[in-house]
């Protein structure tokens, strides 16, 4: 049966009953809730070391993974043969090798998946921008570092070294301060909002804002130190 035009009275519910109460919308809501419940259950299974749970999880969130993969590929000019599907596959191989990972929620899992994709692309970028026989990498201007931290779109070749420098600094941050690194994982790698990051990590939005500011300041200091060391080596 054709749905009545929005301005038509034919078939309209009596007494001004809202159209949103139709069975179709209720079915969609129930389907979303069921999916979210299944994802949460599978994440618990993955945390318990269940490989089958991980294999069942990926198809349920594949649409979100494709969005993340497209976003990451826009930021890097790597090997053009590494298309969106290939990038998801490479990230899958890295994630599946983890031993009983503790992913607190779907947003947290997607942030970790996004980071795995970035690591794949970083490896491609490192091979492309390999330094000749141990020659020094040029100091990275802090404005390029800021672009790398804040950009949502494509950065291009001029910022590739900045992205590599940031990623190397992030590894040092992870060793120095795990809670700050988790926020960076969600905000920088996963592109999550303050609110989504708070949900993923089980903390307040105010805590996320504070840790994000501290992490950015730490990275700026770390990379500023690298630039000073590079100038001293060059001298």
3-state secondary structure the chain: CCCCCCCCCCCCCHHHCCHHHCHHHHHHHHHHHHHHHHHHHHHHHHHCCCHHHHHHHHHHCHHHHHHHHHHHHHHCCCCCCCCHHHHHHHHHHHHHCCCCCCCCCHHHHHHHHHHHHHHHHHHHHHHHCCCHHHCCCCCCCHHHHHHHHHCCCCCCHHHHHHHHHHHHHHHHHHHHCHHHHHHHHHHHHCCCCHHHHHHHHCCCHHHHHHHHHHHHHHHHHHHHHHHHHHHHHHC
Sequence-separated contacts (24+) of 154-157 with Cβ below 8 Å: 154/74, 154/75, 155/75, 155/76, 156/77, 157/77
In tens, the pLDDT along 58-102 reads: 999 999 999 988 887 776 655 555 788 999 999 999 898 877 677
**214 compared with 32, residue with greater pLDDT:** 214
In this structure, are residues 124 and 77 in contact, taking their beta carbons and an 8 Å threshold? no
Class of residue 151 by CB neighbours under 10 A (exposed 0-12, middle 13-18, buried 19+): middle
Q: Which fold has domain 27-128?
A: Rna Polymerase Sigma Factor; Chain: A (1.10.1740)
Nearest to 112 by CA among 84, 82, 92, 83: 92
Mean pLDDT of 38-64: 91
Instruction: Indicate the average pLDDT of the chain.
Output: 74
Which pLDDT score is estimated for 169?
85
Q: Where are the domains of the chain?
A: 27-128, 133-235
**176 compared with 188, residue with greater pLDDT:** 176
Which two tokens mark 33?
A: 């809730």
Which pLDDT score is estimated for 208?
96
**129 compared with 10, residue with greater pLDDT:** 129
Which pLDDT score is estimated for 34?
86
**pLDDT > 90: what percent of the chain?**
20
Q: Distance of CA 4 to CAs 9, 11, 19, 51, Å? A: 8, 7, 11, 48
The rounded distance, in Å, linking the Cα atoms of 37 and 125 is 38
**pLDDT > 70: what percent of the chain?**
64
The rounded distance, in Å, linking the Cα atoms of 71 and 84 is 9
Which pLDDT score is estimated for 92?
92
Which pLDDT score is estimated for 137?
53
* Total-model pTM: 0.63
In tens, the pLDDT along 131-147 reads: 444 545 555 555 665 56
């Amino acid at each position: 049966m054709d749905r009545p035009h929005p301005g038509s009275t034919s078939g309209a519910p009596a007494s001004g009953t809202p159209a949103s109460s139709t069975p179709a919308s209720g079915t969609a809501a129930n389907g979303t809730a069921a999916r979210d419940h299944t994802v949460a259950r599978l994440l618990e299974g993955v945390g318990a070391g269940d490989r089958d749970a991980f294999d069942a999880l990926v198809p349920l969130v594949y649409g979100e993974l494709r969005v993340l993969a497209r976003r990451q590929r826009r930021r890097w000019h790597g090997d053009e043969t590494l298309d969106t599907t290939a990038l998801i596959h490479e990230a899958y191989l890295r994630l599946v090798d983890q031993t009983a990972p503790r992913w607190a929620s779907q947003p947290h899992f997607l942030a970790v998946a996004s980071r795995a994709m970035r690591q794949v692309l970083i490896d491609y970028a490192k091979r492309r921008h390999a330094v000749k026989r141990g020659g020094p990498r040029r100091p990275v201007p802090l404005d390029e570092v800021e672009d790398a931290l804040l950009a949502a779109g494509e950065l291009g070749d001029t910022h590739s070294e900045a992205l590599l420098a940031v990623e190397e600094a992030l590894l040092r941050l992870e060793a120095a301060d795990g809670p700050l690194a988790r926020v960076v994982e969600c905000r920088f790698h996963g592109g999550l909002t303050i609110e989504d990051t708070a949900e993923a990590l089980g903390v307040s939005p105010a805590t996320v804002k504070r840790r994000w500011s501290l992490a950015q300041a730490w990275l700026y200091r770390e990379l500023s130190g690298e630039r000073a060391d590079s100038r001293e080596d060059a001298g």
